[in-house]
Amino acid sequence: MKKTILFVVLSLMFIGCETSEVKNDSEVKATWSSSDQYANWSNGGYTVYNNIWGSGAGSQSIWANNYSNWGIWANHPNTAGIKSYPNSTKYVGKALNTINTLSTSFNATTPSGGAWVSAYDLWDSNKANEIMLWLNYTGNSDGSGNVKPISYNYSSTGASVPVYTNQSIGGHTWNVFRGNNGSNNVYSFLRTTKTNSGTIDAKAIYNWIKNKGWFGNVTVGDIQYGFEISSCYGTNGNGSNFTCNSYSVTSN
């Protein structure tokens, strides 16, 4: 009898360790989940954020098994403006010239339709400089389309104007845009062909900007990977799923 009671108690403890969210009418079991606007969860030296920061946002729920495997279900309306940037973040905190290796890998599953960017945000520790690496996105690599990078210059049609095109940096080829959002400098690197997986030499990205004289020997801050979403109303208004299958940062 005592063995039976112990087994039941242990079983209930195990079930209690799992959380579940209903996303697009299918149950997803995960170690952690939340629908709170600024929910965050620390795991393995990283922090996973829900980060619904823009005005006019709809619903968004986040789940995570660990810092590397997480995802969201979101239903943001088809209106202008960024609604959220759910992401996983690793803080580095080293001066650029003291870093030997800074690389990162990602693998994601993204929906069709909507207006969004699967992207890295690379920061300095003072949050004065933001480097966006656009890997997959619903706009176009020339700066046109329904999502556009921040730029000092725009064409007569409203497209962002790149300052450099077809630059091979960090293992990928990019069109580079430069601007300011009113709070910090923004350097946007749009991969000329879209992808949902890869490895990037992030130190090469920082060094390329430094060599242009756009900033100095900065202290590398947050390395973030996630989904910057403007709209994802989905089919018949059912929202959309975004999944980070894996993500990691290597630094020494």
Q: Helix, strand, or coil here: 125?
A: coil
Q: Cα–Cα distance between 146 and 115 in angstroms, integer?
A: 6
185-191: strand order across its sheet: 40-43, 46-49, 87-95, 219-231, 115-124, 129-137, 185-191, 172-180, 164-169
Q: Is 108 exposed, middle or buried (0-12, 13-18, 19+ CB in 10 A)?
A: buried
Q: Cα angle at 245 between 248 and 130, to 5 degrees?
A: 50
Q: Cα–Cα distance between 60 and 114 in angstroms, integer?
A: 15
What pTM did the predictor assign?
0.90
Query: What is the pLDDT tens value at each position of the chain, 252 positions in all?
Result: 444 444 444 444 433 344 444 454 444 689 999 999 999 999 999 999 999 999 999 999 999 999 999 999 999 999 999 999 999 999 999 999 999 999 999 999 999 999 999 999 999 999 999 999 999 999 999 999 999 999 999 999 999 999 999 999 999 999 999 999 999 999 999 999 999 999 999 999 999 999 999 999 999 999 999 999 999 999 999 999 999 999 999 999
Joined together, the tokens standing for residue 54 give 């823009």
Q: How crowded is residue 182: how many other Cβ atoms within 10 Å of its Cβ? A: 6
Quickly tell me which residue has 């389309």 as its tokens: 145
Q: Cα–Cα distance between 110 and 27 in angstroms, integer?
A: 18
